[in-house]
């Protein structure tokens, strides 16, 4: 049995290093994503009379189309940290785009900018976002910890840990919510992770398989 087998005797809980984003920083980053999209689409950046939905509350937003791209938020040290991030877009509850990066040399605000625009306009699964959809759009962010290699997969906590499987040049990623949404066991999750990478389902057991975990802080706009 190699280090990636599911082995209760080798149980260990992994806690990747994590930098939390404060509620105020969440609101400002979500507002930044929305104003970026409004600017890119050339429409007024308003919802319900000059407000945008953001992390359970509303924040003021510019009620006109700016000539220049919105400035990123400033003042919180987390904005300048190099953190991976995913941006997810939903329209009326349905996925409309999701793009992100696990690791990056970019600051969080730069990563949020890039992933917001990529999710809206460059997710190959969907056509580009349109101005008429912006009113019905909900934006979500997932900010990631640095990945940590695991020696025994039994220490992975479903619903808490995201997973990265690398075998040679093949690689796949699951965010923490995937196995709980699918009601998978740990072994079913790892099998699906391997298949997603284009590998046989038991490839995660191979000696050259590298399994990493990360944590995320997920937050988003409320309807």
Please count the structural domains in the chain. 2
- What lies within 8 Å, CB to CB, of 83 at 6+ separation is 19, 104, 108, 111, 143, 144, 145
If asked whether residues 134 and 62 sit together in one domain, one would say yes
What's the whole-model pTM score?
0.74
Q: Who's near 219: CB < 8 A, 6+ residues apart? A: 21, 26, 30, 55, 140, 141
Residues 27 and 127 in one domain: yes
Q: What is the pLDDT of residues 103-154, one digit of tens each?
A: 888 999 999 999 999 999 999 999 999 999 999 999 999 999 888 999 888 8
Q: Are strands 137-144 and 216-220 parallel, antiparallel or unpaired?
A: antiparallel
Same domain, 135 and 211: no
Question: Could you give phi then psi for residue 51, rounded to 5 degrees?
Answer: -130, 155
Q: Which of 144, 162, 196 is where one domain is finished?
A: 144
- Domain span at 110: 23-144
- Domain boundary pick from 105, 122, 144: 144
Is the residue at 92 inside a domain? yes
Q: In the structure encoding, which two tokens stand for residue 106, read together? A: 């970019």
Query: What rounded mean pLDDT belongs to the chain?
Result: 85
The set of residues, in sequence order, having a beta carbon less than 8 Å from that of 12 and lying 6+ positions away, is 150, 151, 152, 154, 155
């Amino acid at each position: 049995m190699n280090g990636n087998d599911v082995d209760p005797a080798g149980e260990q809980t992994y806690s990747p290093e994590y930098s939390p984003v404060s509620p105020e920083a969440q609101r400002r980053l979500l507002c930044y994503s929305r104003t970026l999209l409004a600017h890119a689409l050339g429409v007024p950046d308003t919802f319900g009379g000059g407000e945008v939905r953001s992390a359970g509350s509303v924040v003021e937003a510019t009620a006109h189309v700016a000539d220049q791209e919105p400035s990123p938020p400033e003042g919180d040290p987390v904005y300048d940290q190099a953190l991976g991030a995913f941006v997810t877009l939903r329209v009326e509850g349905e996925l409309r785009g999701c793009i992100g990066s696990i690791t990056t040399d970019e600051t969080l605000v730069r990563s949020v900018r890039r992933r917001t625009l990529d999710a809206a306009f460059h997710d190959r699964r969907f056509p580009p976002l349109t101005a008429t959809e912006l009113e019905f759009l909900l934006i979500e962010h997932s900010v990631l910890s640095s990945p940590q290699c695991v020696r025994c997969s039994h220490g992975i906590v479903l619903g808490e840990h995201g997973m990265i499987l690398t075998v040679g040049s093949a690689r796949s990623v699951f965010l923490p919510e995937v196995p709980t949404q699918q009601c998978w066991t740990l072994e079913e999750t790892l099998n699906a992770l391997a298949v997603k990478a284009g590998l046989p389902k038991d490839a995660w057991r191979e000696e050259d398989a590298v399994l990493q975990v990360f944590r995320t802080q997920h937050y988003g706009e409320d309807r």
